[in-house]
Structure 1
């Protein structure tokens, strides 16, 4: 536990140093932006993708489709103490064996949450990043030996380290998870790091997510995504995703997967405020 705390402290120290590269955005500009934000918006990416495994035989049973629906509802704007704002989130991710007979669903994961967000400023009143603390629940809605669920308090920080690059770090403290998932942290670890880079703004974007389990072995996950928007008049992107590692879904979190999927996505612009004044 002490070693984990040291790693988290080091990660956040590096993160706050990198936040110095953020373009100048004043408190007033950020407050004006938050005041104009829609109450209902996309939280995480909404997508439908399908693909095949790269580490096992390709068949109707191993190929699948995956889709996600995610949204966010602001309950307040920056009117709470310390200019913070309260919000609700909901994400539903499904794994669909679409190529099998009768096309059964393998797994559906439900992830509701409530959070408190706040813009972080430097001494000169310019934006350093966005921070949030959230209470989340995630489960697969099943019972008996197939039940998987966990609860967590998460702490996240997002900052722009260049005009086209956003870095996000998210750490969690789990609770009430050992009954159905006693070894879960061996695979999901204490948190995750996301790096998103725009090669061409609103046109070609790369995202990388990394998790490392609480073990000395390679248990964790790397997920890379490449987004491309083919039509300027549309908000729809094409997405190529490669997921390699564990815990893509709850039902088989200990199983290693390597799978490439392709499809379409409506990207989240939740962190657009970090690029709003580039």
Structure 2
């Protein structure tokens, strides 16, 4: 949700707030770490006759490929879903890996970035004897994000993208859908407000694995992010907006808190509602989990 900070930092600002200076200092510190790693490992390399070959080798050593976290990266070794489901334990491990890579910056002169992202979420039945992976969701995504030009505005950035999500299974367990979406980022005091709406790309009825998925996930969601000192609190709300007996939705609460390492956080997650995973898009879960977050 803080992607818009990057675009905002690109803009030419006559007045820099203390927060902006702190952000620039953090970015400079990260760049310094990359340069320091490059200097240390480069000193052990033999000279290459070709400059491009030498540059490629340094890039591989320092891992300076400009790949960054996208959504939260976490491991919840212990989660518990109080809702009973057939052929599964209430306890399982859940983890998520999510990364992004900028492809093009400022192509249109709007300080926009075209970004490729991928999110991998897994539910792992570690309480079973054979410890099978029960469900894995794959989510590649392509989007453009751009800052709102007026620095003092309530709205901070816009994001437009296309996202595919599937679980990689076949026949009756196959689940997948494709969406176009628009998202905006607002700031109210210390809180970030990020509403998103989407349109599901239609499929042929014969190949649609989940024709009624909109009835459970609706056509959008709302994320609230509140940082407090070294803690962050997030609320994700989703609803189909059917104000009758067919009302379906979900709520996810996240709390990350500091640990002994600067970039390692404790993480508590609570989920209640439908569609925690694609295989369970039409089933309810009431899950709580605790573990670690590697990014937030």
2:128 is the alignment partner of 1:144:
no
The answer for unaligned runs of 5 or more in structure 1 is: 1-23, 269-278
Matches of 2:82 and 2:273, distance apart in 1? 12
SS in 2 for 1:187: helix
Q: How does 1:114-129 map to 2 (within 5 A)?
A: 114-122=142-150, 126=152, 128-129=155-156
Matches of 1:267 and 1:39, distance apart in 2? 15
2:198 is the alignment partner of 1:169:
no
2:87 is the alignment partner of 1:90:
no
Q: Contact (CA 8 Å) 2:11, 2:111: kept in 1 or not?
A: no
1:82: Cα distance to partner? 2.7
1:234: Cα distance to partner? 2.2
Matches of 2:104 and 2:287, distance apart in 1? 40
Q: Deviations over 1:97-126 (max 9, x none)?
A: 11111001111000001111110123xx54
SS in 2 for 1:83: coil
Q: Deviations over 1:222-269 (max 9, x none)?
A: 0001111122x420111111100000100121101101000001223x
Q: Contact (CA 8 Å) 1:185, 1:214: kept in 2 or not?
A: no
Q: Contact (CA 8 Å) 1:26, 1:126: kept in 2 or not?
A: no
For normalisation by structure 1, the TM-score amounts to: 0.78
Asked which structure has the greater CA Rg, the reply is 2
Q: Contact (CA 8 Å) 1:186, 1:214: kept in 2 or not?
A: no
C-alpha RMSD of matched pairs (Å): 2.6
The answer for unaligned runs of 5 or more in structure 2 is: 1-7, 14-19, 32-64
Q: Contact (CA 8 Å) 2:136, 2:168: kept in 1 or not?
A: yes
2:12 is the alignment partner of 1:28:
yes
1:146: Cα distance to partner? 0.9
Aligned to 1:131: 158
Q: Tell which has more relative contact order, 1 or 2 (C-alpha 8 A, sep 6+).
A: 1
1:214: Cα distance to partner? 4.7
1:213: Cα distance to partner? 1.8
SS in 1 for 2:275: coil
Aligned to 1:182: 211
Q: Deviations over 1:4-63 (max 9, x none)?
A: xxxxxxxxxxxxxxxxxxxx9893149x97x98983210000011121123459x97111
SS in 1 for 2:216: helix
Aligned length: 236
Matches of 1:189 and 1:225, distance apart in 2? 21
Q: Deviations over 1:50-100 (max 9, x none)?
A: 21123459x971111111000000012223343322110000100111111
Q: Contact (CA 8 Å) 2:178, 2:200: kept in 1 or not?
A: yes
For normalisation by structure 2, the TM-score amounts to: 0.73
Matches of 2:283 and 2:112, distance apart in 1? 39
Aligned to 1:266: 294
Aligned to 2:265: 237
